[in-house]
Structure 1
Amino acid sequence: MSNTDAQRRDQRAGIEQTDVVVIGAGQAGIAMSEHLGERGIAHVVLERDRIAERWRTMRWDSLVANGPAWHDRFPGLAIEGVGDDEFASKDRMARYFEEYVEMLDAPVRTGVEVTAVRKREGGPGFRVETTDGDIDARYVVAATGPFQQPAIPPIVPSGAGLHQLHSSEYHRPGQLPEGAVLVVGAGSSGVQIAAEIQRAGRRVYLSVGPHDRPPRSYRGRDFVWWLGVLGLWEMATPPQGAEHVTIAVSGAEGGHTVDFRRLAADGVTLVGRTSAFDGGVMHFNPDLRENIRRGDANYLGLLEQADEFIARNGLDLPEEPEAHILGPEPSCISDPILSLDLAEAGVTTIIWATGFAADYSWMHVDAFHDDGRPKHQRGVAAEPGIYFLGLPWQSRRGSSFIWGVWHDAKYLADSILIQQNYLTYTTPREAPASPVPEEPDREAVLSTGVN
C-alpha cells in the first residue's frame, strides 16, 4: 500500500492528522509551541492535566522560583506583578504559563492523556494514541521534562511503621504526623523543606549528599547572572562524576545563600548520605564533612571567578569580603552521626527529596538506551522524527531551566523545519507541469543545503 493510500484510509477512518504532536504543556511544551508556531508548522500540544500542572500540585505551598523574575521566564513576556529581582510564587508561575499560552493562542488541549506512541504502519510518521482519539503526526516531541516519576530509593520498606513521602507530595508541616522528620536529599527542595519544618518547631535531620552551593548573590548580582557572564550555564556536559549533583540555592524569604552551618546552628541536625535501614536503624555514609567541604569549595570558587571577572572588566561593583568567611564547623559535621535509631530519635516521617526518574514506557519507538534513558543528541532522538525536550543537560547546564528550555525548543523547531524542507523538495520530473517556471524558494534551499 502506498503512503497516499494509507493517508486516505486514515482520513476515512476519521483519524486526525498534523505535522507535530507535542506531549506535555509545561514550560517545555509551551516553549516548543511558540517556536513551531513562529515557523508556521502545524501542531497540537497535549496535556493530560492542566497547563503547568506540576507547578500547581507537585510543589509545597510556600515554594517560589529559584531564580529572580528577570531571569526565570521566557523572553517574550515579563511576570507581571513581580519585581525583576523578586521570586515568583509557584501559583504565580502557573498563571504565567497560562498567560503565555493565551498570548500565543497556542493549540493546547488539556485533559488529554497520551497512552502510546508507535510508528505508523503503511505510512510515514507516528500514531499517537490518546484518551481523546488517535492522531497521526510526522514528528513527535516528548516535552514531559525531567519531573515524571518521583524517585524513592528502596531503602526503607513500606511496612516499617514510618510515614514516607516524596518531596513532590509535601505541601506544609501541618500535613505531617507529630514527631521528628528525616529529610533525605539536600538540593534546593530538601534544604527548603527541612528549614520550613524546623521553623515550625519540629526536630529535623537532613541527609546531605554531593551538591553545588553557589551564593544567592554576590557583589550586587544574583548567582544566575554570575553563571551567565562566566559562561557556566553553557557548560555542555557536567564534570566527571557530577551528573546528578544538585544546586543548593533558595529563593525563599526573598532569596538567600544556602549555608549548612547556619542550618545546623538553627537546630537542623546534618547527617551524611542515607545508605541503609536495618531493624529500625538508619545508617549514613561517613561522607558529610567531605560533601560540605566540596560544596564550600564550589561556593568559594565561584566568588573567586566573580572577583577576577570584575577586575578584568573594570566593573564598579561593591566589595563583599565577608562573603568569603565561613562560619564555625558545627559538631554534627565534626562528629557525624553514622547510625540513628529512628524510634529513639522520635522520627516518624521520612521525606525523600531524591529527585525524579524518567518514564517513557508509553513510547514504543527505538529511541532509548537499555536503561530507558533517551538516546539523543541535543534532543534529536536516534529514532528519526522523535524529539525530546526539557531533559537535564540536554544541550547545556541551563537546559532544564525555563529560559534554557526555550532555547532548546528553538533548536528543535529549526531541526523539524529543516526536515520538512527536505521532504518538500521535488525534482523537475516530479514537479507538476507549469507554463511559467517558478523562482526557487531560496530560503528553503539555503536551510536544507539542497541545490
Structure 2
Amino acid sequence: MPEPHHDSQTAVNAVVIGGGQAGLSASYYLSQRGIDHIVFEKETVVHKWKDQRWDAFCLVTPNWQCQLPDHSYDGPDPHGFMVKEQIIEYVDAFVRKVKAPVLENTAVTGVQRLGTGFRIESTVGTTTADAVILATSLYGAPSIPRIGERLPSHIAQIHTAEYRNPAQLPEGAVVVVGSGQSGAQIAEDLHLAGRKVHMVTGNAPRCARFYRGRDVVDWLWDVGQYGITVADDGMGKKKHDTNHYLTGRDGGRDIDLRAFALQGMALYGRLSNVSGSKLLFDRDLRTNLDNADRVYNGINALIDRHIAEKGIAAPPPSIYEPVWRPDTEPESLDLDAAGVSSVIWATGFRPDWSYVGLPIFDGTGYPVHRRGVTSVPGVYVLGLPWLWTWGSGRFLSVGKDAEYVVSELASALRETAAGVAA
C-alpha cells in the first residue's frame, strides 16, 4: 500500500484511527468521495488476524457473509467457513484494493478539539483534521482478570490472543476460563487433541449450526434478524451481550459442552476466587448450561415459526434435550491435584479510548452515538458490535456502517465549507 506523506505536522480533512476492516472500509468510502485523509494503525493492518488467532481458527459465519466494500467473497464455497490463512488472504486482497493511506506502527496518543477541528497527536507528530473516525472497536488489549495474579507461579497463563495450538502449552491438564466463542472453540481444539480440559462457564448463549436442512445463519438472514437495528426492540437492545458459541470447523457443527462432559471434559460454574492452588466457583453451572440451551431452542423456534408462516418445505422441527446434566455443582478445583499446568483466559478484550480527550462517553466509558455519529460534531465511531445492526463490526455489515458514517462526515464537511464561504 502507498505510504502516506507525513511531516511532523500535517493537515487533512479526516483522520481514521484504526486500520482493521472498519478503518479500511472508512478509507474506501473517503477515497471514493475524494476526502483527503490518513489512517493511523498502531500495529499492522492485518495483525489481529495474523497475530491474535489460533492455528485452527476459522470463521463462525459462512463465507457469503464476507461483504467488505466492493470485495464480497467470490470463492468456490460460499456456504463454507474460511480458515485462518484464507481469511488473511481475503483481508490482504482488500488492503491491496483499497490502497488506504495507512501509517502502520503508528500509535495515536491524543485527540483534542482545536478550534472547529481536531488535533491528533501520534508517535510521528501532530496532525490536524476537520473530522475524526474512531475505528479501533472494542478489541484493544487482552483482558485478564486480576484474580489471575493469585494463581501459583508454576501455572502457565495465557490469553486467547496468545493461544496457537495445544503443543505450545506445557504437558498436563488445561483450564479454559470463559465459554464464549473463543473459549468454547479453544476448549474443543484442546479436547480434540486429547488434552484434559476443565471449562469454566459463564453466561454465553449457544446456537445450532444447522437446523431443518440449512445453516442457521441462512435461516436467520431470511427471517430478517440481520436487519434488526439498535432502534428496534429485540436483539438489537443486546449490543453488549456475549456472542453465541458454535463453530465452522470441519464444515461447521454445534458446540455442545454437555456432550464434551460425556467425553471427559470437566465443567464448572463461574470463577469466583482463588485460594492457594484451588480455583473456587459459583454454583451456577446448571443455570449457565440451561440458559445456553434455552437460547439454542429459542432460535430454532424462531426458525420454526418462519417456516410455518411461509409454508416452506423443510425437515421436521426438533427440540434439544440435554445429553448430560451435572450431578453436583462443583465448588472448587485443586490445580495441583488435577495435574493442571495451564490456564487460558478466554475473557475477551478491553477497549482503549484513553487517548480521546473529547466528551463522547457515557458513565461506563462507552461512546454515546447513533449509528456511529457522536454528539461532538466531526467525531464518529466505527467497528463496534451493534453499531447499528447485528452484522455491525463484522465482515457482513462493517462496510455498510462505514458508508453511512462517511456520508454523514461528508455532509458535515460540506456544511462547514458552505458556512466559511458565506
1:132 paired with 2:124, answer yes
- Post-superposition Cα deviations, 1:192-230, rounded to whole Å, max 9, x if no partner, equal 111111222211011111122111122233222233232
Q: CA deviation at 1:80?
A: 5.0
1:222 alignment counterpart? 215
Give yes or no for contact 1:65–1:72 (8 Å, CA) kept in 2: no
Stretches of structure 2 lacking an aligned partner (at least 5 in a row) = 1-6
Give yes or no for contact 1:69–1:84 (8 Å, CA) kept in 2: yes
**2-structure distance, mates of 1:75, 1:36:** 12
1:212 paired with 2:209, answer no
**2-structure distance, mates of 1:349, 1:50:** 30
1:141 alignment counterpart? 133
Within the candidate set 326, 329, 338, 2:321 is matched to 326
RMSD: 2.2
1:154 alignment counterpart? 146
1:425 alignment counterpart? 418
1:42 paired with 2:36, answer yes
- Post-superposition Cα deviations, 1:148-167, rounded to whole Å, max 9, x if no partner, equal 01111222325622211111
Structure number with greater Rg is 1
Instruction: Label 1:320 to 1:44 Cα distance change in 2 as closer, same or farther (>3 A).
Output: farther
**2-structure distance, mates of 1:63, 1:148:** 19
1:249 paired with 2:246, answer yes
Within the candidate set 357, 364, 372, 2:357 is matched to 364
Identity rate, percent: 36
Bigger shift: 374-383 or 205-214? 374-383
Within the candidate set 344, 354, 376, 2:347 is matched to 354
Give yes or no for contact 1:46–1:114 (8 Å, CA) kept in 2: yes
1:338 alignment counterpart? 331
Give yes or no for contact 1:69–1:82 (8 Å, CA) kept in 2: no
Bigger shift: 237-246 or 369-378? 237-246
Instruction: Label 1:328 to 1:89 Cα distance change in 2 as closer, same or farther (>3 A).
Output: closer
Within the candidate set 177, 180, 192, 1:184 is matched to 177
1:198 alignment counterpart? 191
1:279 paired with 2:272, answer no
Instruction: Label 1:304 to 1:14 Cα distance change in 2 as closer, same or farther (>3 A).
Output: closer
Q: CA deviation at 1:361?
A: 1.1
Give yes or no for contact 1:31–1:406 (8 Å, CA) kept in 2: yes
**2-structure distance, mates of 1:354, 1:243:** 14
Q: CA deviation at 1:240?
A: 7.5
**1-structure distance, mates of 2:394, 2:183:** 18
2:371 alignment counterpart? 378
Instruction: Label 1:369 to 1:296 Cα distance change in 2 as closer, same or farther (>3 A).
Output: same
Within the candidate set 286, 289, 292, 2:286 is matched to 289
Within the candidate set 97, 103, 106, 1:103 is matched to 97
Q: Say which SS state the counterpart of residue 218 (structure 2) adopts.
A: helix
1:175 alignment counterpart? 168
Q: CA deviation at 1:381?
A: 2.1
Q: Say which SS state the counterpart of residue 139 (structure 1) adopts.
A: strand
**2-structure distance, mates of 1:370, 1:293:** 32
2:305 alignment counterpart? 308
Q: Say which SS state the counterpart of residue 38 (structure 2) adopts.
A: strand
**1-structure distance, mates of 2:17, 2:165:** 31
1:66 paired with 2:60, answer yes
Q: CA deviation at 1:348?
A: 1.6
1:410 paired with 2:406, answer no
Give yes or no for contact 2:130–2:413 (8 Å, CA) kept in 1: no
Bigger shift: 165-174 or 369-378? 369-378
Amino acid at match of 1:32: A
Q: How many residues align?
A: 411
Q: CA deviation at 1:421?
A: 2.1
Instruction: Label 1:283 to 1:82 Cα distance change in 2 as closer, same or farther (>3 A).
Output: farther
Give yes or no for contact 1:195–1:268 (8 Å, CA) kept in 2: no
2:266 alignment counterpart? 269
Q: TM-score, normalised to structure 2's length?
A: 0.91
**1-structure distance, mates of 2:75, 2:271:** 41
Give yes or no for contact 2:28–2:69 (8 Å, CA) kept in 1: no
Q: CA deviation at 1:75?
A: 5.2
Give yes or no for contact 2:373–2:379 (8 Å, CA) kept in 1: yes
Amino acid at match of 2:257: F
Give yes or no for contact 2:62–2:78 (8 Å, CA) kept in 1: yes
- Post-superposition Cα deviations, 1:72-123, rounded to whole Å, max 9, x if no partner, equal 3325223354510111122222222221122233323323222222222xx4
1:446 alignment counterpart? none
Q: Say which SS state the counterpart of residue 215 (structure 1) adopts.
A: coil
Give yes or no for contact 2:240–2:385 (8 Å, CA) kept in 1: no
Give yes or no for contact 1:214–1:249 (8 Å, CA) kept in 2: yes
**1-structure distance, mates of 2:27, 2:393:** 17
Bigger shift: 388-397 or 59-68? 388-397
Q: Say which SS state the counterpart of residue 134 (structure 1) adopts.
A: strand
1:17-96 correspondence to structure 2 within 5 Å: 17-74=11-68, 76-79=70-73, 81=75, 83-96=77-90
